[in-house]
């Protein structure tokens, strides 16, 4: 089990999303009412970054075709999305948002 | 799997590719679906999405009926500035062949000319095709699927006509 530190919590805006690029991937980090969620940043429909999209509650809307994902489960909520989004276990350690990467 | 075609078969395949291009360049849209099997797929997809395995496609048709519907749109319902297309299609490379089907790909460049304007490079990419041998069909082959993967992420203005 590997915990990957992504970003200091101080840099997370409330009820908004930021993107972080790492060698391990591109991640979208959300903070909703004090809770942090992390998903893949790339939409499962087309080449668009979800961190450029619109966060409404716990739903992230892709800026390209307005597909929406539930950031808690990665579930695809509407057309044109078919594939769910990868999401990651999160813990806050030393003020850093860390995610657990699954061994592939 | 065997990837060799007889010389006659390859020449007829080559002619199929050239006639397809000629039909489109002549604007004979009603004849475009004739190059496809009844159960077919025609998709135009940017390379950025194809390479990532993402489904987003600029055009995505899943039957000959949808191709006919597109032709009706071109003729009757879409509002656009007409343009001419000119295809330059490379020789197809056969990657697999058996008694009934052939897999092949070919590079293409499509130029666009609007009335009173200079010619522009419109779309450049690669056809990735699955073809059925169809001796009874007009062109000897039918496309079961044609995927046009274009290299640029951008399409100038819009895409009205098939590639």
The yes-or-no verdict on residue A12 having pLDDT over 60 is yes
CB contact under 8 A, A42 and B52: yes
Averaged pLDDT, A20-25:
94
- State which residue of chain A sits closest to B45, comparing Cα positions: A46
Over range B86-107, report the average pLDDT.
Answer: 96
Distance (Å, whole) CA B74 – CA B80:
9
Grade residue B1 by pLDDT with cuts at 50, 70 and 90.
Answer: low
Name B97's Cβ contacts closer than 8 Å, sequence gap at least 6: B1, B2, B3, B4, B5, B103
Please list every residue in chain B whose beta carbon sits closer than 8 Å to the beta carbon of residue A47: 46, 48-49, 52, 54, 56, 153
- Best of B47, B51, B56, B58 to disrupt the A interface (most A CBs within 10 Å) is B56
What pLDDT was estimated at residue B123?
97
Q: What is the pLDDT of residue A103?
A: 58
Interface with chain A: mutation pick from B46, B55, B60, highest number of A CBs within 10 Å: B55
Binned at pLDDT 50, 70 and 90, residue B94 comes out as: very high
- Both tokens of residue A32? 């909703």
> Quick check: bond before B65 cis, omega within 30?
no
The confidence score (pLDDT) of residue B124 equals: 98
Contact assignment for A47 to B46 by CB distance below 8 Å: yes
d(CA A73, CA A38): 10
Q: Where are the domains of chain B?
A: 7-150
In this prediction, the answer to ipTM > 0.90 reads no
Cβ atoms A61, A54 nearer than 8 A: yes
Q: How confident is the model at residue B130 (pLDDT cuts 50, 70, 90)?
A: very high
The residues with which B102 forms a beta bridge, in sequence order, are B97, B131
Interface test with A, best of B44, B54, B57, B150 (most A CBs within 10 A): B54
User: Taking 80 as the threshold, does the pLDDT of residue A104 lie above it?
Assistant: no
Does residue A45 belong to the interface with chain B, where contact is any CB pair within 8 Å?
A: yes
Which chain B residues in 117-156 lie under 8 Å from chain A, judged by CB atoms? Answer: 153
CATH architecture of B7-150: Roll (3.10)
Q: Is A46 on the interface with B (CB under 8 A)?
A: yes
Do residue B52 and residue A80 have CB atoms under 8 angstroms apart? Answer: no
Q: What percent of chain A has pLDDT over 70?
A: 98
Q: A64-95: string of b/e by CB count within 10 Å (b at 16+)?
A: beebbbbbeebebeeebbeeebebbebeeeee
CA-nearest residue to B153 within chain A is A47
Chain A neighbours among B 56-85 (CB < 8 Å)? 56
Write out chain A residues lying below 8 Å of B54, CB-based.
42-47
The model's pTM? 0.84
Dihedral of the CA atoms A19, A21, A22, A28 (nearest 10)? 30
In the predicted model, what is the mean pLDDT of chain A? 94
């Amino acid at each position: 089990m590997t915990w990957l530190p992504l970003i200091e919590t101080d840099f997370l805006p409330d009820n908004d999303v930021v993107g972080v690029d790492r060698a391990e991937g591109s991640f979208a980090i959300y903070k909703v009412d004090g809770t942090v969620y992390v998903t893949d940043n790339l939409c499962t429909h087309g080449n668009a970054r979800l961190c450029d999209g619109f966060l409404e509650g716990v739903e992230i809307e892709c800026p390209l075709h307005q597909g929406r994902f539930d950031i808690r489960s990665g579930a695809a909520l509407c057309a044109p999305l078919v594939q769910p989004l990868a999401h990651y276990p999160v813990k806050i350690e030393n003020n850093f948002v860390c995610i657990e990467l699954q061994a592939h | 799997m065997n990837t060799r075609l007889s010389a006659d078969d390859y020449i007829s395949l080559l002619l199929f590719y050239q006639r397809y291009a000629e039909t489109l360049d002549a604007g004979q849209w009603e004849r475009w679906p004739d190059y496809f099997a009844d159960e077919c797929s025609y998709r135009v997809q940017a390379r950025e999405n194809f390479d990532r395995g993402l489904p987003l496609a600029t055009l995505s048709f899943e039957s000959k009926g949808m191709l006919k519907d597109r032709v009706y749109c071109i003729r009757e319902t879409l509002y656009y500035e007409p343009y001419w297309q000119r295809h330059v299609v490379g020789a197809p490379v056969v990657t697999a062949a058996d008694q009934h089907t052939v897999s092949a790909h070919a590079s293409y460049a499509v130029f666009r000319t609007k009335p009173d304007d200079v010619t522009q490079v419109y779309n450049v990419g690669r056809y990735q095709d699955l073809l059925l041998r169809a001796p009874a069909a007009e062109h000897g082959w039918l496309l079961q699927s044609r995927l046009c993967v274009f290299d640029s992420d951008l399409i100038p203005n819009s895409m009205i006509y098939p590639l």
